[in-house]
Amino acid sequence: MVMLDEEGLGSRLIAPQDNPGSWSRDGGEPAAEPLSSHLDRRRPARLASEASDAERGADPPAEVVARLLSAKAPRYTSYPTAVQFTADIGPDRHHRWLGAVPAGHPVSLYVHVPFCRRLCWYCGCSMKVSRRPEPIAQYAEDLEREIALVANALGRRPRVGALHFGGGSPDSLPVERLDRLFTVLRRAFALEPEAEIAAELDPSFVTRDWIFEATRQGLNRASVGVQTLAEPVQRAIHRPLAFERLTDVVASLRGAGIGAINMDLMYGLPHQRTADVLDTLERVLPLAPDRLAVFGYAHVPALRRHQTIFAPDSLPGAEARLEQAALAAERLQAAGYQRIGLDHFALPTDDLARAHASGAMRRNFQGYTTDQADTLIGLGVSAISRLPEGFAQNTADLAAWRAALIEDRLPTARGVAFRPDDRLRGELIERLMCDGSANLSALLVRFSPSPEVRDELSRATDLLERAGLVSVAEGRLVITEMGAPFVRSICAAFDVDFDPDSGRHSRAI
């Protein structure tokens, strides 16, 4: 369930950083997507710059730190964030960028399937309700065109170590189309034998046939959207799911040979009590998911009109949300799950827990990931690609996406080219988001930025250190306990584009 958000495409509709204490994965709410003119490239680390030389050595200016911490900060599933995408990047540039992907360079694939059988009233995803199979079959056919166009632009058949189907509901793809879709994908891309092939599933609708056919095609990880098992809450959010149905789906997944199962749960939903959150946990824990994500619902009716159906007084308040998140985390840790980021929990045997432990965890538009490839090719309406030269995003308009493909054009609508320092800033922010620490000295050696950029990064570090948000030893920044709830704001201090006054992002704490 990936959604359009303030950064263009990304993640689930959740309120970030309800949980103090660790590093965020997904979070943030969808927002209007004003683009363009705000790209004052000299805005860099505006807040850090405000702590000018005259202030160095003194206490950090309280006002500057307060603005940093109260500002709405991005979720940093990419850097630059999708707010920086503009129409300057179109099909021609995207085509050239694909052609320039170095030979032997492994890539990952993301396939967006926007269809769902019903609208969950909390939803903030990029999706369309469709109960008829025809538009979805048509979409699958159009995806084949897009794959062929991308393959043509690449000019070769790259190795692929990870393939992720997100939505919407990927299980809405007709089962009889899966063989053909995978055949076309395998013709264009060399899926490695050990590739992770994952799909987000709606347990209310996915069928046993779908699971078995997808597994036959290589599916080996499933992410099951549970959200809540409390019936009054399910009624309130228009998402019924019987526990017996969920156990059947999990049994089918395991029976088909899928060894890695994620479950998504939510808190902060209308009429949801802490007891409901804990009861749902008690019921899903015996199903032994390898990984769980516990997301907080973010109420943004101005951006998602269907959410106006929730009376504001039906929503748990801030204190109740904190309690729900904290007790869920406590229960999961007591059950042997390791906490990863603000909202992820994994058994020590799970790949994400291993990657987290070894410092190899990465962050991309799907949130935290084990995927190590730097190049991600997005397919489908609204999908984003990360290429060596920058980001390119497909149009989010289904008709426009299709029209472009019929004309044999890539359906690229916007994107951003990397500037000289973006990789340095991006890597610094990614390590802070994933590990809560980053070796700034090593990054400076590797990327050799200009003296101005070094100075700016040093001012930002100094500001954060004096505010007690990070500690610095031998060139390594480590987010302190006090700084932990502010991880996004800390990253924003190194973001050249971040404008604390834009109000464009979800609140950072």
Which of 379/416 has CB closer to ligand SF4?
379
Binding mask 79-98 for ligand SF4 (x = CB under 6 A): --------------------
Which of 123/315 has CB closer to ligand SF4?
123
Asked if 434 and 372 touch (Cβ cutoff 8 Å), the reply is: no
Contacts of 290 (CB under 8 A, 6+ apart): 259, 260, 261, 262, 346, 347, 349, 350
Q: Does the protein bind ligand SF4 through residue 120 (CB under 6 A)?
A: yes
CB of 200 to ligand SF4, least distance (A): 8
- C-alpha distance from residue 320 to each of 249, 263, 323, 394 (Å): 31, 22, 5, 39
In the window 148-187, what residues touch ligand SF4 (CB under 6 A)? 167-169
Nearest to 117 by CA among 173, 200, 165: 173
Among 125, 293, 469, 492, binds ligand SF4 (CB under 6 A): 125
Q: Does the protein bind ligand SF4 through residue 383 (CB under 6 A)?
A: no
Nearest to 3 by CA among 138, 146, 112, 163: 112
Place of tokens 């790209």: 39
Among 73, 83, 127, 269, binds ligand SF4 (CB under 6 A): 127
CB of 422 to ligand SF4, least distance (A): 31
CB of 28 to ligand SF4, least distance (A): 15
Q: Does the protein bind ligand SF4 through residue 14 (CB under 6 A)?
A: no
Interface size with ligand SF4, residues (CB under 6 A): 12
CB of 1 to ligand SF4, least distance (A): 4
In the window 222-241, what residues touch ligand SF4 (CB under 6 A)? 225
Structure token pair of residue 484? 């932990």
Q: Does the protein bind ligand SF4 through residue 1 (CB under 6 A)?
A: yes
By three-state DSSP, how is residue 198 classified?
Answer: strand
* Strand-by-strand arrangement of the 221-227 sheet: 338-340, 344-346, 291-296, 260-267, 221-227, 190-201, 159-167, 107-113, 375-379, 384-387, 390-394, 412-417
Which of 1/355 has CB closer to ligand SF4?
1
Q: Does the protein bind ligand SF4 through residue 116 (CB under 6 A)?
A: yes
Neighbours of 278 (CB within 10 A): 15
Among 7, 202, 264, 497, binds ligand SF4 (CB under 6 A): 202
CB of 180 to ligand SF4, least distance (A): 24
Query: 312-317 long-range CB contacts below 8 Å, 24 or more apart?
Result: 314/236, 314/270, 314/271, 315/268, 315/269, 315/270, 316/267, 316/268, 316/269, 316/272, 316/273
Q: Does the protein bind ligand SF4 through residue 123 (CB under 6 A)?
A: yes
CB of 467 to ligand SF4, least distance (A): 38
**Distance (Å, rounded) from C-alpha 207 to C-alpha 269?**
27
CB of 167 to ligand SF4, least distance (A): 6
Q: Does the protein bind ligand SF4 through residue 188 (CB under 6 A)?
A: no
The residues binding ligand SF4 (CB under 6 A) are 1, 116, 119-120, 123, 125, 127, 167-169, 202, 225
